[in-house]
């Protein structure tokens, strides 16, 4: 029954915005928890140019049911033209934690 819980990977260009995104997603019950990581260097091609940008990783715990609204809200809050939104299935986990994620994302 863990399959309804998912992890969403994203990032933000700075810690202030990462905190704002995390705050909004949790406060709006779109995510149960958002972990903000230490700054990392992301290397990628954008419009034919190699870019190297420092970003703050975001690990977002939510459910399949909340995922469409979370994706929409994350895209609204994010300054990037193409923000990273990768959804990873959860194959299992501690039942009390999975239940907590479900309760947090279904709260009014």
Q: In whole angstroms, what is the distance from residue 32 CA to residue 51 CA?
A: 32
DSSP letters spanning 79-102: -SSS---EEEE-----HHHHHHHH
Using CA atoms, how far residue 52 sits from 4, 41, 42, 46, 65, in Å, is 35, 6, 6, 10, 34
Per-residue model confidence (pLDDT) at position 1: 62
If pLDDT is split at 50, 70 and 90, which confidence band does 3 have?
A: confident
Q: How far is residue 4 CA from its own chain's centroid?
A: 16
Give per-residue pLDDT as tens, 68-92. 999 999 999 999 999 999 999 999 9
Give per-residue pLDDT as tens, 34-43. 999 999 999 9
Give per-residue pLDDT as tens, 15-51. 999 999 999 999 999 999 999 999 999 999 999 999 9
Q: In whole angstroms, what is the distance from residue 35 CA to residue 19 CA?
A: 9
Q: Residue 99 is encoded by which pair of tokens? A: 């239940």
Domains of the chain: 2-106 (3.30.70.120)
Q: What is the mean pLDDT of residues 83-105?
A: 95
Neighbour tally for 41: CB within 10 Å: 8
pTM of the model as a whole? 0.94
């Amino acid at each position: 029954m863990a399959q309804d819980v998912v992890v969403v990977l994203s990032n933000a260009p700075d810690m202030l915005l990462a905190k704002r995104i995390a705050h909004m997603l949790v406060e709006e019950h779109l995510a149960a928890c958002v972990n903000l990581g230490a700054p990392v260097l992301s290397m990628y091609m954008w419009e034919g140019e190699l870019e190297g940008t420092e970003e703050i990783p975001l690990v977002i715990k939510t459910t399949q049911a909340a995922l469409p609204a979370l994706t929409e809200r994350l895209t609204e809050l994010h300054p990037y033209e193409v923000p990273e939104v990768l959804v990873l299935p959860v194959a299992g986990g501690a039942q009390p934690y999975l239940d907590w994620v479900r309760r947090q994302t279904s709260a009014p």
